Structure 1
């Protein structure tokens, strides 16, 4: 059975290593969000660095998730001191559980504060695509899909909550998601 891959990317206003209160707040809240989402029904897995203490995202060993990569529009640092990004790569059973995890609870609270922490880049912040049950998506694939979404809009290859597709490529609607459903941004 196909699984749903989700890649998210945002450019932070300040580097993760910056000790200012907003950066610390974002970092601390991120731990709570990951713990909550990892227990959500429909969640399967997310990319985790095998050697998280080694250095920046770019230096870490991500195992089967591949080498860390970022979209072409990311123009900030790549060292521990200068990296100013937040990115996730995860697997889900379907769109509905992912939507529910993202737009409820502690993650929803974080989304309500996103412009305190993130720059408004004019680029999409997330992208979905279907993978077969034996595939682990890679960071590079997530970046490629996000860039494709930016350039071409939602298509079966790269889509959003609001303009989604079934595994066979047909447009799909999930109750409460989409232009006439909940207007979660």
Structure 2
């Protein structure tokens, strides 16, 4: 059975190493959100650095998730002191559980505050796609698909929750979210 991949990317207003209370708050909420999401039904796994260092993204060992990569529009730093981004790469059993985890509960509360922490870039903040069971996506896969989504819009290769596709490539809707006339996918 195919699995759903969710890649998220956002450019932060200040570097992750910034000692301000707002950055600390972002870290604290982020850690709580990850704990909650990892317990959500339908969650399978997410990319984690082997050394667990939150500030080192570019030089970290990501194991089977591949070398850390960012979209071409990211122009801020790449060092521990200057990195100003948040990115996630996760695997899910299906669209509905991933949607539910992202748009309800603690993560929804964090989304409501996203502009406290993130810049408005005009680029998509997430992309979804399907992989066969046993395939682990890489950071570069996420970047490629996010850039494709930005350049070409939703397609079975790279889509959003609001313009979703089923594993067979047909348009899908999640609980009424998405273009009218599309099938409901659960």
Q: TM-score, normalised by structure 1?
A: 0.95
CA RMSD of aligned residues (A): 1.2
Measure the CA separation in 2 of the matches of 1:164 and 1:48.
26
What's the CA shift string for 1:66-120, capped at 9, x where partnerless?
A: 0000000000001110000000000000110001000111100000000000000
- Structure 1 stretches of at least 4 aligned residues deviating more than 6 Å after TM superposition: none
- Which structure 2 segments of 5+ residues have no match? 181-186
SS, match of residue 9 in structure 1 = strand
Does the 8 A contact of 1:124 with 1:149 survive in 2? yes
Measure the CA separation in 2 of the matches of 1:32 and 1:128.
23
Cα distance change, pair 68–168 in 1 and its aligned pair in 2 (3 A): same
- Which residue of the partner structure matches residue 2 of structure 2? 2
SS, match of residue 82 in structure 1 = coil
| Pairing of 1:1-185 with structure 2 (within 5 A) | 1-53=1-53, 56-179=56-179
SS, match of residue 71 in structure 2 = coil
What's the CA shift string for 1:122-158, capped at 9, x where partnerless?
A: 0000000000001000000000000000000000000
Does the 8 A contact of 2:2 with 2:167 survive in 1? yes
- Which structure 1 segments of 5+ residues have no match? 181-185
Does the 8 A contact of 2:3 with 2:94 survive in 1? yes
Residue 179 of structure 1 and its aligned partner are, at CA, apart by 4.8
Q: How many residues align?
A: 180
Q: TM-score, normalised by structure 2?
A: 0.94
